[in-house]
Structure 1
């Protein structure tokens, strides 16, 4: 089953608006989307799926690299996210389909698709079902490209280890919450346990029949100001537990006040490229 914490809150207007505003103001999603689209080898593609496409940041990157006559299907199960996307990304080559990732095969054309790209969201799906659906719809030689946040995948890029100056914003948030709200953080093992390590991904791809082509741990460089903006989005706000959003924003503001807006931050990503074998049945 998909992790329950990944399924809540996305179909809320406040989250959709804040998420869309973040993607317009900050480079993280645009940068990771461009990276995934490049790895998908879209030069000859005619139909591409943006899986868990949200408000369309990844679809926009796909459209920029795909041929002029290519079409993109953005599939997401949160109508609120897609409402924002339809308003901000009007392109006749882009179709919006409201459905969970697990139902991909039910919404792909009979002729199949040339690539499936998923930015930042594969961990919140039932991957055994999703991988099987991707296998069903991909054309021979077609690529399935996705990424997983370093904390979820249990990977860390060397830049994240060497580039940190002082405590992370998440650490400061937990300290402020403990001081001002009596918050007791969960044990480190529970808090940082990987949700989708590479070993699990490799096993599931093999079980499905998709060929693993490449994996890479990449680094996303940003600033403390961007990190604060990301943690202001309701579904990403911290800490977990019985807090109102207003309380979380109070905690975030106090934690952020202990940092510098331009202080560098680094996040790690596990990028995975799989492929439909030639001559599939």
Structure 2
């Protein structure tokens, strides 16, 4: 598991950089709109933005939710939420600082209509979070989240069809090995959260798998560079300072075209609590 899964989010520099990225590039806003649409929020009254960060997904939810709906953005990094409060001011939105696993302790007694989680479910204790979602979700409610293609072990056909080219990540690794004596990254192992595991965890929690799609997200090298400039995402890991990471990133980026489009794959999952369940 990479360092950003566990540490670094409760930091003003990271929070500011992350929020700036979400405003400047479409990666998080586009995926947030997709997840919010899949949640079918037309008749929802209470919606949770799980691991909500600075509010990119909450903003997409608010755009689709009814005028009288309440949105709860729950995240365990106070710095991220401080930035979010400054940039997203809506009376329907409340900010709760807590771990995703503690969801049931911070939602109304009557339950919620939908839970949406963008790009973060893999960072949690997944079985515990699924169980918490089951406890708070009203019958017929939806739980919508996504998992990066590498963690899910999926590749969109559009990505498979494109000619192979070096990614910024692979160029960074090559430079780190060549110029800094870093050990080569180990081969990719077994996916951490494939659909089979997701389905098993959902079933154990008492949730029904309703949809599972593999989607493609198109990003430019310029966008990937900006993303890798956010401190928690900076590479390579293992004893490198942020200044060294940025120097390596700049050298790798110089070997690419800023407008070159890459495709990243995502597993998008929709689960629900069947209407007849109590």
Do the structures match in fold with TM over 0.5?
yes
| Corresponding position: 1:260 with 2:266 | no
1:81: how far off?
A: 0.2
| Corresponding position: 1:222 with 2:219 | yes
Given that 1:164 and 1:266 are in contact with CA atoms closer than 8 Å, whether structure 2 keeps it comes out as no
Q: What's the secondary structure of 2:103's corresponding residue? A: helix
For residues 197-244 of structure 1, the C-alpha deviation after alignment (integer angstroms, 9 at most, x for no partner) is 111111000111100000000000110000000011111111121111
What TM-score, normalized to structure 2? Answer: 0.97
Corresponding residue number in structure 2 for 1:64: 63
1:166: how far off?
A: 2.4
Corresponding residue number in structure 1 for 2:78: 79
User: Unmatched 5+ residue regions in structure 1?
Assistant: none
1:161: how far off?
A: 2.1
1:3: how far off?
A: 7.7
Corresponding residue number in structure 1 for 2:17: 18
Q: What's the secondary structure of 1:188's corresponding residue? A: coil
Given that 2:37 and 2:64 are in contact with CA atoms closer than 8 Å, whether structure 1 keeps it comes out as yes
User: Unmatched 5+ residue regions in structure 2?
Assistant: none
Given that 1:163 and 1:264 are in contact with CA atoms closer than 8 Å, whether structure 2 keeps it comes out as no
1:162: how far off?
A: 2.4
1:164: how far off?
A: 4.9
Corresponding residue number in structure 1 for 2:6: 7
1:159: how far off?
A: 1.4
Given that 1:52 and 1:101 are in contact with CA atoms closer than 8 Å, whether structure 2 keeps it comes out as yes
Corresponding residue number in structure 2 for 1:177: 176
1:189: how far off?
A: 3.0
1:187: how far off?
A: 1.8
1:279: how far off?
A: 2.3
Q: What's the secondary structure of 2:95's corresponding residue? A: strand
Distance across 2 between alignment mates of 1:238 and 1:163: 25
Corresponding residue number in structure 2 for 1:31: 30
1:186: how far off?
A: 2.5
Corresponding residue number in structure 1 for 2:47: 48
1:1-281 matched pairs, under 5 angstroms: 5-164=4-163, 166-190=165-189, 193-281=190-278
Given that 1:174 and 1:239 are in contact with CA atoms closer than 8 Å, whether structure 2 keeps it comes out as yes
Given that 2:45 and 2:68 are in contact with CA atoms closer than 8 Å, whether structure 1 keeps it comes out as yes
**Pair 164,36 (structure 1): closer, same or farther in 2 beyond 3 Å:** farther
Distance across 2 between alignment mates of 1:129 and 1:238: 30
Given that 2:159 and 2:264 are in contact with CA atoms closer than 8 Å, whether structure 1 keeps it comes out as yes
What TM-score, normalized to structure 1? Answer: 0.96
Distance across 2 between alignment mates of 1:57 and 1:160: 26
1:4: how far off?
A: 6.6
Distance across 2 between alignment mates of 1:37 and 1:195: 25
Given that 1:59 and 1:72 are in contact with CA atoms closer than 8 Å, whether structure 2 keeps it comes out as yes
